[in-house]
Homo-oligomer: A and B are copies of this chain.
Amino acid sequence: MTTAATYAVADWGTSRFRLWLLDHQGHVVAERRSDDGLDTSRARGFAETLEDHLASLRAPADLPVIICGMAGSRQGWVEANYVPVPADLTAILSGAVKIAGIARDVRIIPGLSQSGSAPNVMRGEETQLLGATLARNLRSGLVAMPGTHSKWVELDEGKATSFSTFLTGELYALLAGHSILRHSIGNAAETVTPDHPQFTAGLELMLGGNRRMLGELFGIRAAMLLDNLPPEGAASRLSGLLIGTEIAGAREKFGISATVTLVASGTMAALYAKAMTAGGLTFDIVDADEAVRKGLFVAASQLWPAQKG
C-alpha cells in the first residue's frame, strides 16, 4: 500500500537540490535529487524549478512545502532573516517565511546568526541540527556537521549558544581542483578513504600541534615530484591535513571533553570518525540525510498540524 504524501520538504543549497515527499509520520514516500542549486534555479525561476520537481513526483497541487538552506539567502528565492544565537532550536521554525504570489503554501526556514567578536552564519544546518538533537534527545553538548562549510555548534539546554564554521570542504575542492596540487591529484579527489596511510599521516601531522598547514600543503607537490606520491595518496594526504586542521581548531576552540554528536553520511562520516578518533575525541554518529529530513518534518508538522495524522 502506498501512503499518501502529507508534506513536501526540501534542502535547497548552493549547488544541490533535494526534495522528499513525507507521510504524516515523516516516512519517505518519494525522493528527488538534482543539481538545481541556487545559480541554476535563479536563472530559471525558483517557483518553476520547484513545481517541475514536484510534478515529477506527482505531488498534489495543494501539498505544502517547507524548505531549508541557501534558498533563503539574499541570493536565493526570498530572504529569510537570521535568528540570532542564543536561540531555541524550535524558535527558528516560527520564523519561516511564506512565499508570496504563488498558489502553493511554500515556506523557507531562517538561518542562525552569531554577532559580536566572532560573527557567523548558517543556513540549512540549523534544520539538520534540530533533526539530530531530536534523533538523540540531545539537549546539551557539541554537534559537528562536516561539509563544504563545516559547522560546530554548542548546545545548552536545547538552545544553540555559539557556533564556528570551518572552510574545510570548500578548501579541499579548491586545492584539489584549481591549485598547483591539481597536477598531483588529477581525477583522484573523490578517492579518499579513511584507511589510506597518507590520510592518517596528514591527520597526525596537524593533530600533533603543527601550525604549518600552508607549508604541509606544498609538501604534497614536492612528494609527488621527488617521491612519486600517487594521486590517491596526494588526495588522501590533502584531506588528512585539512580535516586534521579542523579537528585541532575545534578542540582548541571548544575544549572538548564530552562526546561529540557527528552529523554526517557515507565517506564523510567515515573520514571524520577516523579524524576524531585520532584527535582523542569520542563521538556519536547521526546520519546527515536523516537528520535534515527529520528537522524539516518537525518544522512542517508544527506549521501545518491539521494535516498530520
Contact = CB atoms under 8 A, between A and B. Distances in A.
Contact of A227 (B119, B221, B245, B252): B119
Contact of A215 (B180, B214, B221, B253): B253
Interface string A109-127: 0000111001111000000
Contacts of A226: 82, 113, 115, 119, 121
Given A115-B226, A174-B175, A149 B249 contact: no
A170 B166 contact: no
Chain multiplicity (copies): 2
Contact of A178 (B149, B174, B223): B174
Interface in A153-187: 164-168, 170-171, 174-175, 178-180
A74 B184 CA distance: 13
Given A218-B166, A221-B121, A211 B211 contact: yes
Contacts of A213: 213, 245, 249
A143 to B, nearest CB: 16
Contacts of A114: 222
Contacts of A221: 121
Contacts of A149: 180, 218
A117 to B, nearest CB: 10
A235 B140 CA distance: 37
Max chain B Cβ within 10 angstroms of own Cβ: one of A115, A225, A242:
A225
Interface string A16-29: 00000000000000
A118 B226 CA distance: 11
Nearest to A74: B225
A53 to B, nearest CB: 25
Contact of A167 (B118, B165, B210, B218): B218
A146 to B, nearest CB: 12
Interface string A183-217: 00000000000000000000000000011111101
Nearest to A168: B214
A279 interface: no
A98 to B, nearest CB: 23
A166 B249 contact: no
A11 interface: no
A248 interface: yes
Contacts of A212: 164, 166, 249-250, 252-253
Nearest 7 Cβ contacts at the A-B interface = A212-B249, A165-B218, A119-B222, A166-B214, A120-B222, A167-B217, A119-B226
6 contacts: A120-B222, A167-B215, A168-B214, A170-B180, A171-B179, A215-B253
